Structure 1
Amino acid sequence: MTELTRSHGKKSIRASLQPRDLMAETTPAHAWLASVITLFPDAFPGVLGHSLTGTALKEGLWSLETTDLRRFGLTKHRNVDAPPAGGGAGLVLRPDVVGAAIDAARVPGPLVYLSPRGAPFTQDTARRWAAGPGVTLLCGRFEGVDQRVIDHYDITEVSLGDFVLTGGEIAAQAMLDATVRLLPGVLGNAASVEEESFSNGLLEHPQFTKPAEWQGRTVPPVLTSGDHAKVAAWRRAESEALTRDRRPDLWARYRPD
């Protein structure tokens, strides 16, 4: 369950609190802040309200605000789009509508438009965002956003991958999840971040747990040997092999010819 407050088209989201949650009752002024401009504010927090990111939201380690783009629409129908100049299929989000929403919603930190033509979102991107005060994400729809808005606000375009979605909301949640988990105190074990995929330019090594044997397959003996140096060497070798086989692009950067 979430508690929602609305003001001028903006919705602040935090977990509803019980009496025992007195320390989380107000979000600290220094908490990392995500602001999302979207036609579908009710899509948030979505999956971000669950698991570790949801707990961190409840505890005030980060905060989330959504701004309903439709609130800035024109005429009684709240129109936010118009046909593309020069003709063509689809509709384009108007610069006057999007600009007004940005002025109302922008928070300190990067201003980002989620776009398939943007630079790829990577673990390094998440680290940079997490190191700052927050981020403002503009979720596109239809044929995109009028280029004049992007140029006027010097917006950074970022892509989740080489594919096209119906809008930026899913991409926004994925990018926020990747970023929020890097904030101090969100993960119970900080070492988890240091050893996972992309943290050192490699894919993560295989993981094993109990039971020692399952369906005729056993845990590699080195992992139960108690020799930490051998375990580290095995994990590094496995990471290198996986990266070389599955991601030659990463391997070329990690170990160029």
Structure 2
Amino acid sequence: MRVDILTIFPEMFSPLNQSMVGKAQEKEIVEIYTHDFRENADNKQRHVDDMPYGGGQGMLLMPQPIFDTMDKFSHENARVILLDPAGKKFNQKVAEELAKEEQLVFICGHYEGYDERIKSLVTDEISLGDFVLTGGEVAANVMIDAVVRLLPGVLGKQVSHEDDSFSSGLLEYPQYTRPEDFRGLRVPEVLMSGHHENIRKWRLTESLKKTLKRRPDLLENYSANEEEIKILEKLRETSDDTQDVVE
């Protein structure tokens, strides 16, 4: 995958050289390029913003620096993403969709907004969430990290991300490692049993339990199978612990 980022603060993307995304670049699984579109502004002051026609507060990004920057690299079949609070909300499904592409372009805005003509370059308008940031760089960092970790070879094993929260539509079940007893806090016995079916049921129940408690909105569009429906019914009916529900 190739990722191109249009920004006036390219130094804000140094985190992408670290951790798994950095290793993905070393393995040549992904190539990431930043383009400072201020360098392509056609005025002496290198301004990339101006006042909106018709009046109003704030400044808008002008189209010229963005268009001229886009002209300098190939993006014919790319998904061009405008980071915009008014765009569709980013989530795991969007990350999985973008991970199938060969090239992504992120346009990071600042100031009050964009000249509307910039959107003629764009295939997707995406928002990180229902809040406003000072610029698109932080959002782009998050989205790129979420997408790149899904690329084959980045995490080593394909199953590494399949059990992540949101990948299945549910929150991930609790996990434990050594020691078995830490300051009186013990690993659930079912995980020590070696009984794979009981462990599977425990994990499924815990996943449903956590989702029901913390993010019940996720269950509204979740296609539960017969086993999951029965577990959810019991979870809603009883305050017993998860082990009782599994049994």
Count of aligned pairs between the two proteins:
224
Distance 1:104 1:222 in 2: 58
Q: Please tell me whether the aligned partners of residues 82 and 122 of structure 2 are also in contact (alpha carbons under 8 angstroms).
A: no
SS in 2 for 1:104: coil
Partner of 1:126: 95
Partner of 1:35: 4
SS in 2 for 1:226: coil
Q: Please tell me whether the aligned partners of residues 81 and 122 of structure 2 are also in contact (alpha carbons under 8 angstroms).
A: no
Shift in CA distance, 92/106, structure 1 to aligned 2, threshold 3 Å = farther
Distance 2:177 2:29 in 1: 31
How many Å apart are 1:38 and its aligned residue? 0.3
Q: How does 1:55-204 map to 2 (within 5 A)?
A: 55-105=23-73, 107=75, 108-150=77-119, 152-204=120-172
Question: Aligned pair 1:238/2:206, yes or no?
Answer: yes
What letter is aligned with 2:69?
Answer: A
Partner of 1:25: none
Q: Please tell me whether the aligned partners of residues 79 and 124 of structure 2 are also in contact (alpha carbons under 8 angstroms).
A: yes
Q: How does 1:193-232 map to 2 (within 5 A)?
A: 193-232=161-200
* TM-score normalised by the chain length of structure 2: 0.86
How many Å apart are 1:104 and its aligned residue? 2.4
Once the two structures are superposed, residues 56-107 of structure 1 have per-residue CA deviations (whole angstroms, 9 ceiling, x without a partner) of: 1112111001111101113211111101222122110011222222232453
What letter is aligned with 1:34?
Answer: V
What letter is aligned with 1:149?
Answer: I
Shift in CA distance, 140/60, structure 1 to aligned 2, threshold 3 Å = same
**Which structure has greater strand proportion?**
1
What letter is aligned with 2:95?
Answer: A
Structure 1: runs of 5+ lacking an equivalent: 1-31
Once the two structures are superposed, residues 98-126 of structure 1 have per-residue CA deviations (whole angstroms, 9 ceiling, x without a partner) of: 22222324533210001111101111111
Identity %: 42
Q: Please tell me whether the aligned partners of residues 49 and 59 of structure 2 are also in contact (alpha carbons under 8 angstroms).
A: yes
Q: Please tell me whether the aligned partners of residues 212 and 219 of structure 1 are also in contact (alpha carbons under 8 angstroms).
A: yes
Distance 2:46 2:71 in 1: 18
Q: Please tell me whether the aligned partners of residues 110 and 135 of structure 1 are also in contact (alpha carbons under 8 angstroms).
A: yes
Distance 1:81 1:95 in 2: 9
Shift in CA distance, 167/206, structure 1 to aligned 2, threshold 3 Å = same
Distance 2:208 2:102 in 1: 34
What letter is aligned with 2:157?
Answer: N
Partner of 2:242: none
Once the two structures are superposed, residues 131-165 of structure 1 have per-residue CA deviations (whole angstroms, 9 ceiling, x without a partner) of: 11020000000011111221x22441101111111
What letter is aligned with 1:39?
Answer: I
| Cα RMSD after superposing both structures | 1.6
What letter is aligned with 2:135?
Answer: G
